[in-house]
């Protein structure tokens, strides 16, 4: 990857993180998961997916599904950076005059399908991938799922079917931030060895650092990883990435920050010392 490109991606994801942080007050958002997959979403839209403002209704476009709907602020932020969504509209977060809330809604241009209930968008993406295959079209279909989401039986049921139908135009990206809602995955329902589990279900799995654009580039460009198999990327990520004061913290899963905390967090994102957070921690919702 060229230095200029790398710099550009880093700058974009920094701005996406700023958007996410600004959405974490006035009702709040699921900040931890949004920050863990921000780099992934930026990479996918900027470098991997053939989808643009011009072709987003074209049946030949690539499809993106965000199955773990909690992290939709990362998607809104990316859409602002792509010029698909006016930045002003982010202020409508949780307002009745728009469709911007805690989970994706199809009324926002670019969002292919709603999510929020875990374990759904993989099978929806499979329906799309199946149709692309039947029509002999070359679209890529990517679905980002959470590691906690892998508790859902419907994920594994769907994998059996995806492998049976050899959907090698389908890529599953796991945002492996090691957390489910309130607890570390390995402390509740352990997923290890995760890559082996996917491979036992007939997929080809690769691991990557989900915050390193150069490493992602090396992995993603090999899609499909193996002819006839679903490609799985296990993206090792950090919950709350970019804000050391909330990184890897179970109690900063959902947050509703005060205005002054948000101002300080924006400085922290750019290297200032850790923010002293005083707002109430919300563990379970």
Partner 1 sequence: MTYADIVLDLIKKDDRYIIMTSENRAAFRNLPPLIKNNFIDTGITEQTMIGMAAGLALRGRTPIVHALATFLTMRAFEFIRTDVGIANLPVKIVGAVPGFLSDGNGPTHQAIEDVSIMRGIPPMNVFCPADEEDMLKGLKSVFTHSAPFYIRYNPTKALVEHSKFELGKAEVFGKGTDVAILVYGFLFREAFKAKEILESKGVSVRLINIRTPKPIDEETVLKAVDECKLIVTLEDHFITGGLYTILAEVLLRNRKTANVLPFALMNKWFKPALLNDVLEYEGFTAGQIANKIFNKLKIEH
Nearer of residues 87 and 98 to partner 1, judged by Cβ = 98
Q: How far apart (Å, rounded) are the C-alpha atoms in residues 224 and 253?
A: 33
Nearer of residues 129 and 234 to partner 1, judged by Cβ = 129
Using DSSP's 3-state secondary structure scheme, residue 235 falls into strand
Nearer of residues 1 and 160 to partner 1, judged by Cβ = 160
Helices 3-22 and 72-82: crossing angle in degrees, nearest 10, is 120
Residue 41 burial (CB count, 10 A)? 24
Nearer of residues 140 and 241 to partner 1, judged by Cβ = 140
Minimum Å distance from CB 9 to partner 1? Answer: 29
Minimum Å distance from CB 170 to partner 1? Answer: 10
DSSP string, 162-229: HHHTT-TTEEEEEEE-SB-SSSBHHHHS---SHHHHHHHTT-EEEEEETT-HHHHHHHHTT-SSSTTS
Nearer of residues 131 and 226 to partner 1, judged by Cβ = 131
Nearer of residues 73 and 119 to partner 1, judged by Cβ = 119
195-200 contacts, C-beta under 8 A, 24 or more apart: 195/232, 195/234, 198/159, 198/172, 198/232, 198/234
Q: How far apart (Å, rounded) are the C-alpha atoms in residues 218 and 109?
A: 30
- Provide the token pair at 224: 């499909």
Minimum Å distance from CB 131 to partner 1? Answer: 4
Minimum Å distance from CB 128 to partner 1? Answer: 4
Minimum Å distance from CB 155 to partner 1? Answer: 10
Nearer of residues 59 and 109 to partner 1, judged by Cβ = 59
Nearer of residues 65 and 84 to partner 1, judged by Cβ = 65
- Cβ contacts of 45 within 8 Å, gap of 6 or more: 51, 64, 78, 82
Would you tell me which residues interact with partner 1 (CB under 8 A)? 59, 106, 112-114, 117, 119-132, 134, 154, 157-158, 160-161, 164-165
How many helices and strands in the chain, by DSSP H and E?
Answer: 10, 5
Minimum Å distance from CB 114 to partner 1? Answer: 6
Q: How far apart (Å, rounded) are the C-alpha atoms in residues 72 and 179?
A: 17
Minimum Å distance from CB 130 to partner 1? Answer: 6
Minimum Å distance from CB 30 to partner 1? Answer: 19
Q: Rounded to 5 degrees, what angle do the CA atoms 212, 270, 273 make?
A: 115
Contact of 35 with 243, CB cutoff 8 Å = yes
């Amino acid at each position: 990857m060229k230095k200029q490109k790398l710099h550009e991606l880093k700058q974009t994801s920094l701005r996406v993180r700023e958007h996410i942080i600004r959405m974490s007050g006035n009702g709040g958002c699921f900040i931890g998961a949004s920050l863990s997959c921000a780099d992934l979403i930026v990479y996918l839209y900027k470098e991997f997916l053939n989808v643009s403002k011009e072709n987003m209704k074209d049946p030949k476009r690539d499809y993106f599904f965000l199955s773990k709907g909690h992290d939709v602020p990362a998607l809104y932020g990316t859409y602002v950076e792509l010029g698909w969504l006016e930045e002003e509209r982010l202020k409508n977060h949780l307002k009745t005059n728009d469709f911007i809330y805690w989970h994706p809604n199809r009324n926002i241009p670019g969002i292919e399908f709603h999510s929020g209930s875990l374990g759904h968008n993989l099978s929806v993406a499979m329906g799309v991938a199946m149709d692309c295959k039947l029509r002999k079209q070359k679209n890529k279909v990517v679905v980002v799922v959470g590691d906690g989401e892998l508790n859902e039986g419907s994920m594994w049921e769907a994998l059996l079917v995806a492998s049976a139908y050899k959907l090698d135009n389908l890529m599953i990206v796991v945002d492996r931030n090691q957390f489910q809602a309130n607890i570390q995955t390995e402390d509740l329902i352990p997923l290890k060895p995760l890559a082996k589990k996917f491979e036992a279900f007939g997929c080809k799995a690769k691991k990557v650092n989900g915050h390193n654009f150069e490493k992602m580039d090396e992995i993603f460009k090999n899609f499909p990883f193996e002819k006839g198999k679903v490609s799985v990327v296990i993206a090792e990520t950090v919950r709350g990435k970019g804000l050391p004061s909330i990184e890897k913290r179970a109690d900063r899963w959902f947050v509703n920050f005060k205005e002054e905390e948000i101002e300080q967090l924006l400085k922290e994102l750019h290297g200032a010392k850790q923010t002293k957070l005083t707002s109430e921690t919300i563990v379970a919702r």
